[in-house]
Amino acid sequence: MSATILFWAVTTAQIALGIAMVLALVRMINGPRAQDRVLGLDTLYNNSMLLMLVFGIRTGNSLYFEISLIIGALGFVATVALAKFLMRGEVIE
Amino acid sequence: MNHATDLPIWATLLITLFLLIGAGLTLIGSLGLYRLRSFYDRIHAPTLGTSWGTAGIALASVIYFSVVESQLVLHQLLIGIFVMATTPITLILLGRAALYRDRTENNHDVPPLHPPENLPQPSEPEQDPVVTHKNAGEE
């Protein structure tokens, strides 16, 4: 009973996060300007991080938590560097 | 899902609730990123996923691992705190970069850096007559 409920909840969450990743990818590909693409990349990073957490619930393996933490940290650094590049034209002055 | 057969029903319902809240809010945020018209509208939408989307999925993960391992496991909350602390920084930097780019291209959809000269100025606040009278009396 509880395994069935949890299985369908995890499957629904994975499908929703997959659709969200596709929407962010579409915005990243045909965003009209560069800042739209950076925003789409940031959303894509965040959605993939959440998808890894849901994979961790599905398999019961805590290894996915560390993947998720690394994705979150790299997404933060990447978005800050890209925003700095859009502002100044170079990342490290 | 081999660990999930011995979960109690309250834990299952809590995990389901938080998972669906988190994934649904993330989907709504990404749909807003896809559908909204201008960049300054779009930059608000994915914060649904980074605030309660992340918090819901992290709480579901905390409940699941705490029940399965029979002890309190809190390290998934680290992701939630990290994302909530870093998202405002990235979005402020990105919004300021977009505003700078729009201003240097003379785009008239964004407010200018210096307001134009012919705007009506806000009126000066009236002075308190008691203070004026006391200053006159001291002289």
How many CB contacts within 8 angstroms connect chain A with chain B?
A: 175
Number of domains in chain B: 1
Number of domains in chain A: 1
Q: Which of A54, A48, A81 is nearest to B19 (CA)?
A: A54
CATH number of the CATH domain containing A28: 1.10.287
Contact between B94 and B39 under an 8 Å Cβ cutoff? The reply is no
List the structure tokens of B7.
């979960």
pLDDT 10s digits, B80-109: 899 999 999 999 999 999 988 888 887 777
Q: Is residue B82 part of a domain?
A: yes
Our CA-based measurement puts residue B130 at a distance from the nearest CA of chain A, in whole angstroms, of 52
pLDDT above 70: residue B121: no
Segment 12-71 of chain A within 8 Å of chain B by CB: 12-14, 16-17, 19-21, 23-24, 26-27, 33-36, 38-40, 42-43, 46-47, 49-50, 53-54, 56-58, 60, 62, 65, 68-69
Q: Is residue B18 part of a domain?
A: yes
Show the domain range for B15: 6-107
pLDDT 10s digits, B109-119: 777 777 667 76
Confidence (pLDDT) at A13: 94
On chain B, the residues whose CB falls within 8 A of the CB of A16 are 23-24, 26-27
Q: Is residue A62 part of a domain?
A: yes
Q: Is residue B130 part of a domain?
A: no
Alpha-helix runs per DSSP H in chain B: 9-35, 39-42, 47-48, 54-68, 77-104, 129-138
Show the domain range for A81: 2-88
List the structure tokens of B21.
């809240």
- As a dihedral over the C-alpha atoms of residue B108, residue B114, residue B119, residue B121, rounded to 10 degrees, the angle is 150
On chain A, the residues whose CB falls within 8 A of the CB of B75 are 65
pLDDT 10s digits, A21-34: 999 999 999 878 88
Q: Is residue B139 part of a domain?
A: no
Q: Is residue A93 part of a domain?
A: no
Q: For residues B114 and A66, which has the higher predicted lDDT (pLDDT)?
A: A66
